[in-house]
C-alpha cells in the first residue's frame, strides 16, 4: 500500500539503498520480504485506494514517560505514505554527491547537474531586469527618488506600496492578496482571453502549489461513506499524488496517450472514471496544460471534449496552466480552459473551474520567491467564503511574491521606458528555452532505445527508454524499480540527476525519466553527450 514512502524512509535511513535488507529496514509490521518488490511497483497502479487502510498500524496510543511521544508508528499515516519524487531519494543522493565532491572525492564527473526540477535560475537563467527593479523599490522605498530607475518601475512600485498598509511590504495583506494586484491579475486574464474576469475570483498564493492545495482541501469530505476522487493524468506532476495522499483523497489516474503526443483520449477518461466509481465519488478533473512532465500542448478541440466530459460527469475542472507562456511548437497555441469553456456557451460556461498560475515558470523562473494565483469561477459563493476563511489563519501569502506576480500580469506597455528591454529579455529567454527543448528532443531520439515526443511546451521532456531484460532483473534483485535503478546508475556515473518515470506514473512495463531542458546551452550539450555515453555503456553492461 505504501511502496514509495517505505522506500523513501529506507533511503533516509541509509542513503544508498541497494540491498534487500536496506529496502525493508523501515517497513512496518506485516511486511514480508517476498512481497516487497510487488509493493514497490504498486505506484504504477492507476486507482490508488485512499489512505484509510490502517490495519498495519500498531496500537500505540500512549507510552511510558521517557519514551518518544511521536514515532513512525503513530505519526499521521497519510504523511508516511505520501511521496514527492521531484525531491525524493535521487535528489537526496545528488546533494550528498555534491558534498562529497566539495570534500575532494574523486568521481568520473566534476559537478552534479540537477535536471530534476524546473528551477531556471539555478541553471543560470538570468532574472528579468524590470521585475527585480520593481521588487527592489518596494523593499527599499527610499530608492523611489533614485534617478537610475525608470519611471514605469517607480510607478509600479508606488501603486503597490500605496495599497500596502503603512506603505510597507512588511505589513500583512488581505488573505486573498492585495486588492490592486488581484485586479491586475483579472485584467491580465481578461486581456489574454477576451472574456471578463472578476478580481473577487482571484486568490494569490505562495506559488501555485499552495493555491492548488488549498483548493483540493475543499473536497476532503466523505459522502455516502466514500472518499472524493480526483482524476489526474498519468504521468502527472507529483504535487497531485502527494496532496491526494496527504488528504486521503482517491487518485483516479487516466493515462495520457504517448502514441499521440501525450494527448487526452476521452475513452480513457471514461474508462478511468467508471473503474473508480466503486471506491470513490469522482468530483474533480485535473488537466495540466502545457503538460508536466510530458510537454504536450492540448488542441482546442481536445479541450472542448474534456469540458464536455467534465460537464456530463459532474466534475469540477482544475486547470494547471502554470506553463501558459511556455509554448515552443509553432503549430500549437495555449488555449485557457476558461476561454474555451466560455466560448462554448451554455451549459458549459456555467461550469465550475479553477485555474492556477505561478511566477516560477514562464520566462520569469522566480521559483524561490513563491508567487502564484488561482482564478476560480462559478463556485458557490458560500464555498468561496469557506475557502477564504480556510486560508485566513495563515494570514497572507508573501507580499513580495505578490509583487512579482503583479509585474508578471502588468508588464511594461509599448509606450513605457522599460518595454524594449523587458520584451528583449522575455523573448530571448523563451527563444532559448524553445531551442534547448528541440535540442534535447533531437539528441535523445538519436540514442538507441530512446523515444521522445516533441516538446511542444513546458520545461521538460519525458523520454521512453527500452531497458534490457538483464537490467530489469538486476533492478529486481536490488528491490528497485527498473527506472529508479537506471536513474541511480546515471547519477552515480555522470552526476546527472533526473527523476524516474515511476515518480510521475507510467503504463506498467514502460520506463521513462523526466529531465528539464533548463541547463544552459553549453552545459546541456555536455549533459546530453554524457547521457548518451552512459546509456551505451549501460546497454553494453546489461546486454
Measure the CA angle with vertex 196, ends 195 and 201; round to 5°. Answer: 120
Residues 11 and 28: their CA atoms lie apart, in Å, by 15
Strands (E), 152-249: 202-205, 228-234
Q: Which three cell numbers stand for residue 526?
A: 555536455
If the CB atoms of residues 140 and 533 are measured against a second copy, the closer one turns out to be 140
If the CB atoms of residues 207 and 295 are measured against a second copy, the closer one turns out to be 207
Residues 77 and 72: their CA atoms lie apart, in Å, by 9
Nearest distance in Å: CB 431, a second copy = 20
Q: Which of 75, 122, 337, 356 is nearest to 237 (CA)?
A: 356
Q: State the DSSP H helix or E strand holding residue 419, giving kind and residue range, or none if neither.
A: helix 419-445
If the CB atoms of residues 214 and 336 are measured against a second copy, the closer one turns out to be 214
Q: State the DSSP H helix or E strand holding residue 235, giving kind and residue range, or none if neither.
A: none
DSSP state of 142: G
Q: Which of 41, 5, 114, 103 is nearest to 485 (CA)?
A: 41
Nearest distance in Å: CB 259, a second copy = 30
Tell me if the bond preceding 204 is cis, omega within 30° of 0. no
Nearest distance in Å: CB 340, a second copy = 18
If the CB atoms of residues 105 and 393 are measured against a second copy, the closer one turns out to be 393
Q: Which three cell numbers stand for residue 114?
A: 540537477
Q: Which of 28, 83, 12, 27 is nearest to 60 (CA)?
A: 28
If the CB atoms of residues 74 and 526 are measured against a second copy, the closer one turns out to be 74
If the CB atoms of residues 20 and 311 are measured against a second copy, the closer one turns out to be 311
Q: Which three cell numbers stand for residue 92?
A: 537526496
Nearest distance in Å: CB 313, a second copy = 8
If the CB atoms of residues 316 and 538 are measured against a second copy, the closer one turns out to be 316
Strands (E), 275-384: 281-288, 316-320, 353-358, 372-377
Nearest distance in Å: CB 330, a second copy = 29
If the CB atoms of residues 133 and 326 are measured against a second copy, the closer one turns out to be 133
Nearest distance in Å: CB 213, a second copy = 7
Nearest distance in Å: CB 326, a second copy = 16
If the CB atoms of residues 204 and 455 are measured against a second copy, the closer one turns out to be 204
Nearest distance in Å: CB 102, a second copy = 12
Measure the CA angle with vertex 361, ends 360 and 367; round to 5°. Answer: 20
Nearest distance in Å: CB 254, a second copy = 18
Q: Which residues pair with 285 in a beta bridge?
A: 231, 317
Place of cell 544552459: 520
Residues 352 and 65: their CA atoms lie apart, in Å, by 52
Amino acid at each position: 500500500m505504501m511502496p514509495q514512502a517505505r522506500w523513501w524512509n529506507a533511503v533516509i535511513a541509509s542513503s544508498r539503498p541497494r540491498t534487500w535488507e536496506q529496502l525493508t529496514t523501515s517497513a512496518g509490521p506485516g511486511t514480508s520480504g517476498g512481497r516487497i518488490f510487488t509493493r514497490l511497483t504498486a505506484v504504477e497502479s492507476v486507482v490508488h485506494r485512499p489512505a484509510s487502510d490502517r490495519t498495519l498500524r500498531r496500537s500505540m496510543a500512549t507510552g511510558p514517560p521517557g519514551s518518544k511521544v511521536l514515532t513512525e508508528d503513530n505519526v499521521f499515516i497519510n504523511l508516511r505514505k505520501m511521496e514527492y519524487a521531484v525531491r525524493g531519494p535521487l535528489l537526496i543522493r545528488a546533494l550528498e554527491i555534491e558534498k562529497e565532491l566539495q570534500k575532494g572525492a574523486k568521481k568520473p564527473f566534476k559537478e552534479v547537474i540537477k535536471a530534476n526540477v524546473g528551477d531556471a535560475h539555478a541553471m543560470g537563467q538570468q532574472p528579468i531586469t524590470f521585475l527585480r527593479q520593481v521588487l527592489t523599490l518596494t523593499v527599499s522605498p527610499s530608492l523611489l527618488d533614485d534617478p537610475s530607475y525608470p519611471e514605469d518601475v517607480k510607478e509600479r512600485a508606488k501603486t503597490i506600496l500605496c495599497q500596502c498598509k503603512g506603505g510597507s511590504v512588511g505589513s500583512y495583506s488581505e488573505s486573498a492578496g492585495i486588492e490592486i494586484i488581484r485586479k491586475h491579475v483579472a485584467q491580465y486574464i481578461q486581456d489574454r482571453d477576451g472574456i471578463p474576469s472578476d478580481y473577487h475570483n482571484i486568490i494569490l498564493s505562495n506559488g501555485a502549489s499552495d493555491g492548488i492545495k488549498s483548493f483540493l482541501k475543499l473536497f476532503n469530505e466523505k459522502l455516502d461513506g466514500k472518499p472524493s476522487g480526483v482524476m489526474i493524468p498519468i504521468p502527472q506532476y507529483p504535487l497531485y499524488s502527494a496532496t491526494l495522499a496527504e488528504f486521503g483523497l482517491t487518485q483516479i489516474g487516466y493515462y495520457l496517450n504517448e502514441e499521440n503526443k501525450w494527448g487526452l483520449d476521452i475513452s480513457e477518461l471514461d474508462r478511468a472514471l467508471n473503474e473508480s466509481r466503486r471506491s470513490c465519488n469522482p468530483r474533480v478533473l485535473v488537466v495540466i496544460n502545457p503538460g508536466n512532465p510530458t510537454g504536450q500542448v492540448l488542441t482546442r478541440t481536445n479541450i472542448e471534449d474534456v469540458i464536455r466530459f467534465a460537464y456530463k460527469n459532474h466534475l469540477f475542472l482544475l486547470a494547471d496552466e502554470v506553463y501558459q507562456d511556455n509554448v515552443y511548437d509553432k503549430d500549437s497555441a495555449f488555449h485557457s480552459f476558461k476561454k474555451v469553456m466560455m466560448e462554448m456557451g451554455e451549459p458549459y460556461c456555467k461550469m465550475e473551474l479553477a485555474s492556477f498560475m505561478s511566477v516560477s515558470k514562464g520566462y520569469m523562473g522566480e521559483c524561490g520567491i513563491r508567487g502564484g494565483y488561482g482564478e476560480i469561477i462559478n463556485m458557490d459563493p458560500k464555498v468561496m467564503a469557506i475557502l477564504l476563511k480556510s486560508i485566513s489563519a495563515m494570514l497572507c501569502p508573501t507580499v513580495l511574491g505578490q509583487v512579482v506576480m503583479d509585474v508578471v500580469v502588468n508588464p511594461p506597455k509599448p509606450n513605457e521606458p522599460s518595454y524594449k528591454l523587458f520584451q528583449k529579455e522575455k523573448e530571448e529567454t523563451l527563444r532559448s528555452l524553445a531551442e534547448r527543448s528541440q535540442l534535447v528532443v533531437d539528441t535523445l531520439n538519436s540514442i538507441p532505445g530512446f523515444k521522445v515526443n516533441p516538446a511542444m511546451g513546458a520545461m521538460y521532456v519525458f523520454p521512453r527508454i527500452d531497458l534490457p531484460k538483464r537490467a530489469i532483473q538486476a533492478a529486481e534483485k536490488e528491490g528497485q524499480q527498473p527506472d529508479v535503478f537506471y536513474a541511480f546508475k546515471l547519477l552515480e556515473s555522470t552526476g546527472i540527476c533526473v527523476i524516474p518515470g515511476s515518480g510521475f506514473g507510467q503504463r506498467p512495463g514502460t520506463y521513462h525519466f523526466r529531465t528539464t531542458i533548463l541547463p544552459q546551452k553549453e552545459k546541456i550539450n555536455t549533459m546530453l553527450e554524457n547521457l548518451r555515453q552512459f546509456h551505451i555503456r549501460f546497454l553494453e553492461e546489461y546486454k
